Homo-oligomer: A and B are copies of this chain.
């Protein structure tokens, strides 16, 4: 790599540290930026250098929020249904759920799952905050545990349900499991398919 100037090598190394971008892709990206006169290099540089400065976590739901505000755009939106609370693992899940336009309630972002292998316990997540949020907000009538499909996600949902059931009288629900839209049965894994049979619904 000593055939390239230091500045280019540094940019390639930095971009190839992003997940899913290898050194070949990083080379292409950087040399593309070198050639382009659109100013994209400066736009990426300034947006990334301002990224963490201008964002913090919402004090209520722990989703990302403008630095000058205490609560995020969803918590402060008066048209959202304050009776339903959806517990998710990451802000990416929030983006995905919002794109469905199916859910109008509030969120609570855990920022991870319980994972003993990675030394992440309940105290490393926003579970205490969730428990006290449900205790202090008596208007909440349903809690949706919208964790992912992994074993760790299941365990996290179970832990939360156990901690909340003793005092919460509302409904606790979770996302349905089954075959994905457009999915071919013969390509599905056994776990998904066996759940789709055991949890079948009336036609």
Task: List chain A positions with a Cβ less than 8 A from chain B.
Answer: 2-8, 10-11, 13-15, 17-20, 25, 27-35, 38, 40-55, 63-67, 72-74, 90-92, 94-95, 98, 111
Shortest CB distance A100–B (Å): 12
Contact in complex: B4, A48 (CB < 8 Å): no
Q: Which of B38, B46, B90 contacts A31 (CB 8 A)?
A: B90
User: A2: nearest residue on chain B (CB-CB)?
Assistant: B73
By a CB distance below 8 angstroms, the chain B residues around A74 are 3
Chain copies in complex: 2
Contact in complex: B32, A19 (CB < 8 Å): yes
**Distance in angstroms between the alpha carbons of A38 and B52 in the assembled complex:** 12
Shortest CB distance A124–B (Å): 13
By a CB distance below 8 angstroms, the chain B residues around A25 are 20
Contact in complex: B52, A34 (CB < 8 Å): yes
Shortest CB distance A181–B (Å): 17
**Distance in angstroms between the alpha carbons of A50 and B42 in the assembled complex:** 9
Contact in complex: B34, A66 (CB < 8 Å): no
Shortest CB distance A63–B (Å): 8
Q: Which of B38, B48, B73, B95 contacts A41 (CB 8 A)?
A: B48
**Distance in angstroms between the alpha carbons of A28 and B72 in the assembled complex:** 20
By a CB distance below 8 angstroms, the chain B residues around A46 are 45, 49
Q: Which of B6, B44, B53 contacts A15 (CB 8 A)?
A: B44
Q: Which of B27, B29, B45, B53 contacts A19 (CB 8 A)?
A: B29
- Given A34-B55, A48-B11, A5:B41 Cβ within 8 A: no
By a CB distance below 8 angstroms, the chain B residues around A18 are 29, 32-33, 40, 44
- Given A25-B20, A95-B27, A47:B3 Cβ within 8 A: no
By a CB distance below 8 angstroms, the chain B residues around A51 are 7-8, 11, 30, 33-34, 41
By a CB distance below 8 angstroms, the chain B residues around A52 are 34, 41
